Amino acid sequence: MLMNERIQELINDQINYEMYSGYIYLSMAAYFESENLKGFANWMKIQAYEELKHAQKFFDYVNERGARVLLKSIQAPKTEWISAKEVFKEAYEHEKNVTARIYNIADYAIELKDHATVSFLNWYADEQVEEEANTLEILQKLEKIGDHMQGLFMLDSELSKREG
């Protein structure tokens, strides 16, 4: 069954958004590098790579369905933040946005009875539970840490252990 044109468009937009997510996280990594918080930077660099994988998974799916991937320019990300807490607050909000976008595509695929796309998007729905939980967990830790530099450095050391 040929892929519906609107679904193709929505997924192409989502490829762009996943690349944009990667760009946001890489920019957050650059901010943390400039603050000498190498563990936070490590976590963000791995997150940026995860986003590239999300984009590629959509890319492969569009091709598998015999549709066409059309890449667009990627929006420039924000470059400055005032604290690690602000960064993770935005990362968490961003992930909630991504979830809403995935649900929106899934709703449309359900409407079209495009079961293959619904089934494909289930992987992203599960992944988003993890993405939201990971960013929220770090945000909550940062809220507890407050202005205590020692706590911040301990968390930085914990985040340096994340592996891709």
Select from 12, 43, 51, 141 the one that contacts ligand OFO (CB under 6 A).
Answer: 51
- Closest residue (Cβ) to ligand OFO? 21
Out of 45, 54, 65, 141, the only residue in the binding site for ligand OFO (CB under 6 A) is 54
Q: Closer to ligand OFO at the Cβ: 18 or 114?
A: 18
Q: How far is the CB of 136 from ligand OFO (least distance, A)?
A: 13
Per rule CB under 6 A, count of chain residues that contact ligand OFO: 7
* 124-151: b (≥16 Cβ within 10 Å) or e: beebbeebbebbbebbebbeebeeeeee
Q: Please, which residue, 17 or 152, has the CB nearer to ligand OFO?
A: 17
> According to the binding rule CB under 6 A, does residue 132 interact with ligand OFO?
no
Task: Enumerate the H helices of the chain as residue ranges.
Answer: 5-34, 38-64, 84-111, 115-145, 149-159
Q: Which of 43, 44, 58, 95 is close enough to bind ligand OFO by CB under 6 A?
A: 95
Q: Which is nearer to ligand OFO, 8 or 47 (CB)?
A: 47
C-alpha atoms less than 13 angstroms from C-alpha of 47 in its C-beta half-sphere: 29
* Tokens 């936070």, residue located: 40
- Exactly one of 84, 87, 98, 152 binds ligand OFO (CB under 6 A); that residue is 98
- Using CB under 6 A, pick the residue from 8, 15, 18, 84 that binds ligand OFO: 18
Strand (E) or helix (H) holding 73: none
Hey, is 160 helix, strand or coil? Answer: coil
Query: Cβ-count burial of 92 within 10 angstroms (0-12 exposed, 13-18 middle, 19+ buried)?
Result: buried
Which residues in this chain contact ligand OFO in the complex, by CB under 6 A?
Answer: 18, 21, 51, 54, 95, 98, 131
